[in-house]
Amino acid sequence: MTDISNPSHLRQMQSAYLDQARRRRLYGALTLIIFLLLLLPGFHLADSRNAGGFWNGIGHVFDYPAAVLSEAWAKRQELPGHLVKFFPALVETINIAAISTLIGSIGGMLFAFLSVRGLACWPRLVPLFRRMMDIMRAIPEIVVALVLIFVLGGGPVPAMIAITLHSIGALGKLFSEVAENADPKPVEGLASTGASWSQRMLLGVLPQVAPNFLSYALLRFEINIRASAILGFVGAGGIGYELKNAMSWGQGKFDAAAAIFILLFGTIVLFDQLSSSYRNRLVKGDWQ
Amino acid sequence: MTAATLAMMKDAAATRLSRKRTAAYAVMALIGLYLAYVFFAFDIPGLAQRARMDNAVTLLSDSWSYKTHVTRDHRSGAISYAIEGQRKGAYPEGERPEWVSGDGDAVTVELKNGHSLRLLPGNVTEYRYPGTDPVTIRLMDDELVVDVIGPAPDWITLNPRRVGITTEGGRVTITRSKTEVFRYFPGWELFFFTLDSPYHGHGPLDILFGERIDPDRPNIAGAWHDFWYNPMWLHAKVAWAIFETMLMAFLGTFGAAIIALPLAFLAAKRFAPLMAVRFGMRRIFDFIRGVDGLIWTVVLSRAFGPGPMTGALAILLTDTGTFGKTFSEALENVDDKQIEGIASTGANPVQRYRFGVLPQVTPVLLSQILYLFESNTRSATIIGAITGGGIGLLLTQALQTQQDWEEVSYYIVLVVLIVMAMDWFSGWLRARLIGGRAG
């Protein structure tokens, strides 16, 4: 052991530590600088590949919102009519998100239980189920949706399947992380009474993890509403599809676009608030 | 404990259990009702009629195989050979596949499983189905006539204007203007070199160590050029598109992080004493997040036109809202003790931030940035499809032509590989920087 009462030792240690700290700080600063230096040419490159330049466009960012808003204001007495007219499309978008979240949660739960060591029904197949979840997570929703639109035709079903698959992968990963930390004692207790695998999962694990699962599922629902609106824009039904149509009509029909913007904005904010307040209650545990 | 209290407790427990069970059943019934509602709202019973199963079959077979077209023009009588029927895949003059034989009078096309076909003079086609007599199709007075004894077999569709033959050997389409024969092969043909490249048909060893194939160019440089600018698969263009997609995700995510960090200080209770500023910042973040990426993309592409910059800005704007919210939450959860400790050494406010606050929040911020970077690689594909940039654009274009399914599957494989690579990379980086478990 080093004698720290000896001042020369102490000085040595101090300078070694300071050197190390300085070096680490230098590396950190260098990484940050390289990073920032990468961003600038990156933006420059992206700008040069863009149809309209950044500096030309920056002045016109508010042109479109201003045109939409002024036209919507001029025709404000027609706005309630539009809101009513596009409401069914909004319901479809919400339905796509809800059903995908529902099936995605059930599927994700199944995958999570099958891919946690100690809980899995077939322990040898754990890596297989994990890779399946990875692939479901990795395939972007738009790929599945576009291929399915080609086969099944436009409408809500391709979007539903695409978002469901992604939700199973994404929720499965989060759920399995929660289930890994579940207390094994109830499961062992149930196993000693001769309970089957599904009974052990439903009665032993699920009650422990339900609040966390529900909270993740609600977060997924928020994400899925946005995703289903976006998929509508590429042809899969719902409010996104109406938005695309309203936009292609161009000037003179901006009031319809404005109505859709309002509906979409309102829905997203509403469900964000609802789910975040409910999630807060779930996490604090005072919801019963 | 008396028997009476025990019985009472048992009763109470039983009532609670049955109440819980009823609640569970009620939830399940509600879910069932909702599923039934959606089943009809989405018109799933009608889906069977709307679904184009033939499309699914083409998609599945074309994505892993290719077909070579043998085309006879009925006016000139000329026969041409092309892979996928594209000009870019055409055989050069004087060359043809080895399964075609014969000359001007009778050209024999060998199909799979013993099927074969003869293209005879006078626009006559003779199809040989193994084990049966040949079927002859001729063009008489601008009408197609099929010579067949008895009823026509079920693999042939008859129409005075169009005759189609579909067997396990291949496919034939005869119209008044031309005869087309398709023979299917597994794989993605011409993936490396097109037929006009001198390197077509040479293996990698041949190119690397063999004799010079094209006298004008060194083998490696020439082969690389012909591969990279392959006119059918456009590897250079695809590589650029992938780079563009990743560039959008990179610029969007990290640009947003840089903008959001100072703003997050203004929205955190500890660092912004003015309530009005805090409240205003938070409402701005909420608004940006609420408007959503889709609307931002639409608005921005109106101003900046299609391209990667628009996509990058859309991601940047949306993520500024997300980062603003999560960063300010992280800043509010900073532990006071470390700041007090730094302050007790006589540190000024800047030093207090640098050594008291930043080390605490950096891991949280970094992991959030990396998480969004990973998910933005996926979003950049979708945003690219809307704004017109990157691999998303190529994918939607290939899907819209509804022919190049092998290209669609190629792009899908690429997208999945990139996303998985990003997933792995950000997990590795997170583990390196924060020292946590690799995701």
Q: Say how far apart CA A204 and CA A184 lie, in whole Å.
A: 8
Our CA-based measurement puts residue A61 at a distance from the nearest CA of chain B, in whole angstroms, of: 5
Q: Say whether pLDDT at A287 is over 50.
A: no
pLDDT, tens digit, for every residue of B260-312? 988 988 888 777 778 888 888 888 888 888 888 888 888 888 888 888 888 89
> Does the CB of A98 have a partner CB in chain B at under 8 Å?
yes
Give chain A positions within 8 Å (CB) of B251: 39, 42-43, 46
Give chain B positions within 8 Å (CB) of A64: 299, 302-303
Interface with B, mutate which of A37, A49, A251 (most B CBs under 10 A): A49
B235 by Cβ neighbours in 10 Å (0-12 / 13-18 / 19+) ranks as middle
* B:169-188 residues touching chain A, CB 8 A cutoff: none
Our CA-based measurement puts residue A123 at a distance from the nearest CA of chain B, in whole angstroms, of: 20
Query: Average pLDDT over chain A, rounded to whole?
Result: 85
| Chain A with chain B: Cβ pairs closer than 8 A | 173
Q: What is the pTM of this model?
A: 0.80
Our CA-based measurement puts residue B36 at a distance from the nearest CA of chain A, in whole angstroms, of: 11
Give chain B's residues under pLDDT 50.
Answer: 436-439
Beta-carbon contacts of B439 under 8 Å, excluding residues fewer than 6 positions away, are: B423, B426, B427, B430, B431
A252-277 average pLDDT score: 85
A49-70 average pLDDT score: 78
Percent of chain A with pLDDT over 70: 95
* A:20-79 residues touching chain B, CB 8 A cutoff: 35-36, 39, 42-43, 45-47, 49-54, 57-58, 60-61, 63-65
Q: Which of A76-80, A90-94, A250-254, B48-52 has the highest mean pLDDT?
A: A90-94
Give chain A positions within 8 Å (CB) of B289: 268, 272
Instruction: For residue A58, give the chain B residue with the closest CA.
Output: B303
Instruction: For residue B382, give the chain A residue with the closest CA.
Output: A142
> Residue A150 has which token pair?
């080609």
Q: Say whether pLDDT at A149 is over 80.
A: yes
Give chain A positions within 8 Å (CB) of B412: 139, 143, 147
Q: What is the ipTM of this complex?
A: 0.81
Q: Say whether pLDDT at A1 is over 70.
A: no
Which of B51, B294, B420 has the CB atom closest to A240's CB atom?
B294
Which of A61, A140, A142 has the CB atom closest to B303's CB atom?
A61
Which of B55, B293, B415 has the CB atom closest to A226's CB atom?
B293
pLDDT, tens digit, for every residue of A201-239? 988 898 888 888 998 999 899 889 989 988 888 877 888
Where residue A252 falls among pLDDT bands split at 50, 70, 90? low
* B:373-392 residues touching chain A, CB 8 A cutoff: 378, 381-382, 385-386, 388-389, 392
In angstroms, how far apart are the furthest CA atoms of chain A?
87
Which of B50, B298, B305 has the CB atom closest to A152's CB atom?
B50
Q: What pLDDT score does A99 carry? A: 94
Q: What pLDDT score does B317 carry? A: 92
Q: Who wins on pLDDT, A126 or B269?
A: A126
Q: What pLDDT score does A167 carry? A: 95
Look at B290 and A269 and tell me if their CB atoms are within 8 Å. yes
> Does the CB of B299 have a partner CB in chain A at under 8 Å?
yes
Look at B382 and A153 and tell me if their CB atoms are within 8 Å. no
> Residue B253 has which token pair?
């995510």
> Does the CB of B371 have a partner CB in chain A at under 8 Å?
no
Give chain B positions within 8 Å (CB) of A109: none
Q: Say whether pLDDT at A128 is over 90.
A: yes
pLDDT, tens digit, for every residue of A173-205? 999 988 988 888 999 999 999 989 988 998 889
* A:252-281 residues touching chain B, CB 8 A cutoff: 261, 264-265, 268-269, 272
The answer to whether A97 touches A160, Cβ cutoff 8 Å, is: no
Query: Average pLDDT over chain B, rounded to whole?
Result: 83
The owner of tokens 């979708």 is B382
Give chain B positions within 8 Å (CB) of A43: 251, 255, 309, 312
